[in-house]
Every structure is written in structure tokens, then in C-alpha cells.
A and B are shown apart, each in its own frame.
Chain A
Amino acid sequence: MVSTEEQTPAQSAPAEWNKPWPNIDKDSEEFWDGFTRHELLLWTCSTCSAQYWPKTYCIKHENEPWAANMSWQPSSGQGKLFAFNVHHWAFHPGFKDEVPYTYALVELDEGPLISSTMVGRMPSNADVGKPVKVVFEDHPEHGFSLPHFTLIDD
């Protein structure tokens, strides 16, 4: 299962990407492809409709070989703010111009937890549990898009 492909983008892509590269492997390739179509995909069981992230065998029943009853399906892209932090230090030089930034753990409406940076209005502790939705940052020149979350303020 060990792949060396993940190292190739750093050698072949344009040099101006100065952050760590997405860690795309054989289990997450389709999931990352979904971002370029502005879809947040969840790994979904065709037998019982349970939804997961990241890839896993369905825990609710016996599985077919290679989790063949599972596939990536679009989610609502919505959830609730579960926890967040604010990075004041740039641990990597590519984030020097972005600190302070807010990094959040989001509980998707379908159940799984996922994480990314917040954009738009920055949350306070009173916003924990409030609704959020996914938005996308496209980098077609590098072949990927990045998801972020934003508070749904109404």
C-alpha cells in the first residue's frame, strides 16, 4: 500500500506553491477530485447508507471484499462547528502571511468529523455548535482545490 506517487507533485508542479502539498494517496484520490468539482464527498455504504470519512469498511454489517459496497457520494457540505483553534505561529514558512488563522473541526450533518481552515467571519466560543458550510479555494494550475468552512450567518 505504500505509494511513492505523493512525492512527485513537489518535483513537477510550478514552484510558486509554497505550502505543504496535499497528501493524496490511493485511498483519497477520488475524494480530492471531488473538491475540483466543488463537492465534498463522503464514503457511503450502498447497503445501509451509513457515511464515513475517511475511507473505512462499513462497521454496521459484514462487508463485501475490498469494501465493494462503499463508494464516494456527495454530501450536503454542511455541518456544525465542533471545535476550533487560532494559529498565531506559522510552523511552516508558507503560512507566514496567513497567521493568525482559525483551524476548525466540523461535525458534518451526515455524522463524520472533518477539519479545515475557517474563512469569512472568525468564530468565537459562542459559535461552537453553529452551522457552517464548505467553500472551495481552486488551484487549477496545480490540479487541486482546497476546502474551507465558513459560518452560515443569517
Chain B
Amino acid sequence: MTNTQPDLAVAGLGVVAGAQPDRSQRMMAAEAARLAIADAGLQISDIDGAVDLRRTGGGGDRGSYSDAFTRVLGLPANFYFVIGRGGALAGLGIAAAASFLQRGLAKHVVLVGAVDDWSKSQRTKAQGHRGMAHAEKEGYWGKPLGDLRAASHHSWMAARHMAVFGTTSEQLGAISVQQRAWACLNPEAKMYGRPMTIEDHQNSPMVVEPYHLFDISQVSDGAIAFVLTTKERARDLAKPSVEVLGQGFGEVAADIWWEKKNFTQMAVHNAKKQAFAESGLGLSDIDVAELYDCFTAEVLFQLEDYGWCEKGEGGRFVADGNIGPGGSIPTNTGGGLLSCYHLGDLTGFAEAVRQVRGEAGDRQVPDCEVALSTGHGGELVSPGMCSIHTTTLLGKAA
């Protein structure tokens, strides 16, 4: 352990999962925050800061709804703000809240993200859209041409990896199948009790070739909240402290935005370097990997980019069963976005906290000391790249 690790720990976790057709995002957020505060053994009156994790936060907008969860829950927070970029929520939220905690401007910060995508998708289906109606940012290029949704451009990354390295759809399917095996050990997962085979994957409808339906993440309702505080405070609270060992950040735009390798890699390089340096840890220290998995190929890329296998070898690596239960690097152990639920990187982050605490039930990875949680996403970087990558390493208190 080096002394450059941040003085940060996760003290409480609150999860609202499953379809919530009758509930607003702010009510889901308020309930998850209430659960997280109670989980830590704290009172609402102990919370002096609040962060709203929104996919649109990086646009600099106000919160995307009025009357935020802080007012609903009666939180006496001295500050409340919105941060997040696509699926990069927990990683950015921790980095932002850290400033308040480490300068003594707050003692306990609650961070929460909520989505009602499933309920919204049920409404927009009636208007003829397939899934959610989707507004893209100013400057987005391809919409009138048919580049309509994340699957429209993310599928190029899978297609390019296939063209360059010979990766196959069955190999991508091995990711879905192994994550589904994890989900079948997680009663909270949408796909609990519904095991999948490679044949099921291959027989699932083609959505945007090369992606079958089972290469694509869930559309979900729900909310996840956590309480962030300093290490010393966390040690005195109700649950085992989960410490933030290190973080790092990367952007494809920093790597020259037309770098064509960005269609067979993600912006992992700098994020990984920073997080390993700050934590004093390396790849072999990681017991569980919660890799952002909006689509199957993102998992494949990260397995290569972090170094569990060589670039181009990811297809064979996953086909050999390395990421499922009993595999060499247990990955997306709650089922992930593909088989559990899609609350951005909060899905994997919550699972990482549970694994480090030893609270993961039938899917608990033995002796889990260190978990990796990654975030990814944001507005499209022309002509088809998702920009940010966040690395967060969590571990047991020393």
C-alpha cells in the first residue's frame, strides 16, 4: 500500500431495482438515498452534501428534472449538483465529491443515479419507436442517414474488431452467456432464472448486425445510491468499509480523435495507468472486474486494454470461459448491464461494493480484496466513438 491512495470510502449502499412504472426518477433517487444512508447506519441529518449522477450531467445543464431528490428526502445538504457523462457516473461522482470531503467542506456525501428508461420505452413504443425515443446533441451527424441509436455506431466497434482480428459472433456470445450465468446467481437481476446458451444467443433476433439482441444491454428502471466519506469515519459506521484505492480517467479525444485504433480499443490506457499508480496495485491484484458492458464488444475491448489478454486475443479468451463463474477473472458478477439492469456504471459499482464487503450471496467471489469498476460513455465523438473511460479500484480497509 502506498500513501498516495485517496482518503475515501464507501460507507453505505442503496439499490432500487426492477420495473417501477408508477414511480418518478426523483422518488426512486430519494428511496435509494434513504436506503444508502440507513445501510451506513447514518441519519438523514448526517448528510451534508448530495450529488446527482445523470447521464446528461456532462452537458453542463441543470438537473434534468425539477424538485430534486434532496428536497423530497429532506436532506440538509450544503451542496447539491449534477455530474455524469453517459454511463460514466460513479467514477466522476467520486472524483467530484472527494474535493468536498478532503477539504473538510463535507463529512458524508450521498451520490445517487436514477433512470426510468424502461417505463419511458413502454410509452414511446406506442409512437412507433423501437425502445426509447432518443435525442442527440447539437452537431450529431448521422441521424437523418440512419445512425439512430447507440447500437447504430457501437456495432462498428464489434464489426471492426471482427474484420481486423477475426473475432466471431459466437465469441461475443460467450460474453453474454457467462454474464447470464452470473445473473442466474443474482436474484436482483432482470434475467435471474433465465439461463442462456450460445445457441440462444445466435438465435436471438439480429438488431444491428453484427449485434444480436443478446449482445445488447437491458433497458431498466431503478436507482442506486452510495454514501461517500473519509476512511476514518467509514471505519466507525455500520457496514464494512469499502475504500477507494485509486482512480483514473481517459478520453479518446486526448488520443487524437481520429486515431483509428479507437474502434478496436477504449480510452483505457491513461485511466489504467493513473489508477494503478494511485493505488499501488497492478492487474494481478484485481479479484473481480466490473467492466462497462453496454454491448458485448466493450467487455472484449477492456479485457484486452487492461491486459488480461493481448489485443486481438479477446475472442479466444472469453470463449475459454475466463470471465464466468469459476473463470480466471470473474467479470460483471451480478450479470452486468447485459443481464442484470442498466443504471450506467452504477450497476457494476454497486456489485463491486457488494463483492468487497462479502455480501454477494451465491455469486460471491471467494477472498475478494480488490474490485475494478469501470465507466464509459457520453455524447458521440465524431464519427462514432464514445469518449470517456473511468477506472475505479475498490478494496477492503487495510
Q: What's the least CB distance linking A37 to chain B, in Å?
A: 18
Any chain A CB within 8 A of the CB of B21? no
Q: Is the CB of A25 within 8 A of B138?
A: yes
Q: What's the least CB distance linking B144 to chain A, in Å?
A: 5
Residues of A within 8 A of B258 (CB): 52, 111-113
Q: Mark B202-229, 1 if CB is under 8 A from A, else 0.
A: 0001111111000000000000000000
Any chain B CB within 8 A of the CB of A146? yes
Docked Cα-Cα span, A97 to B257, in Å, equals 34
Residues of B within 8 A of A90 (CB): 130
Docked Cα-Cα span, A82 to B49, in Å, equals 47
Any chain A CB within 8 A of the CB of B163? yes
Q: Is the CB of B128 within 8 A of A93?
A: yes
Docked Cα-Cα span, A105 to B127, in Å, equals 30
Docked Cα-Cα span, A95 to B383, in Å, equals 21
Q: Is the CB of B208 within 8 A of A88?
A: yes
Residues of A within 8 A of B128 (CB): 93, 96
Any chain B CB within 8 A of the CB of A19? yes
Q: Is the CB of B207 within 8 A of A117?
A: no
CB-CB contacts below 8 Å: B112-165 with A: 127-131, 134, 136, 138-149, 151-153, 155-157, 159-160, 162-163
Residue of A with least CB distance to B206? A88
Q: Interface of chain B, helix or strand or loop or mixed?
A: loop
Q: Is the CB of A85 within 8 A of B129?
A: no
Q: Is the CB of B382 within 8 A of A116?
A: no
Residues of B within 8 A of A98 (CB): 146
Q: Is the CB of B163 within 8 A of A91?
A: no
Partner of A21, one of B131, B144, B163, B384: B144
Partner of B160, one of A20, A21, A83, A147: A83
Q: What's the least CB distance linking A6 to chain B, in Å?
A: 7
Q: What's the least CB distance linking A18 to chain B, in Å?
A: 10
Any chain B CB within 8 A of the CB of A74? no
Q: Is the CB of A95 within 8 A of B148?
A: yes
A105-B383, A105-B384, A115-B384 known; A2-B147 Cβ under 8 A: no
Q: Mark A56-70, 1 if CB is under 8 A from B, else 0.
A: 100100000000000
Partner of B139, one of A23, A93, A112, A148: A23
Residues of B within 8 A of A23 (CB): 136, 138-141, 143-144
- Identify which of B134, B162, B384 gathers the most chain A CB atoms within 10 Å of its CB: B384
Q: Is the CB of B382 within 8 A of A54?
A: yes
Q: Is the CB of B145 within 8 A of A54?
A: no
Docked Cα-Cα span, A60 to B185, in Å, equals 53
The 4 closest A-B pairs by CB, nearest first: A93-B128, A86-B209, A20-B143, A83-B160
| 11 A–B contacts from the bound complex (CB under 8 Å) | A20-B144, A23-B136, A23-B144, A25-B138, A82-B260, A83-B157, A83-B163, A86-B209, A93-B127, A117-B145, A125-B163
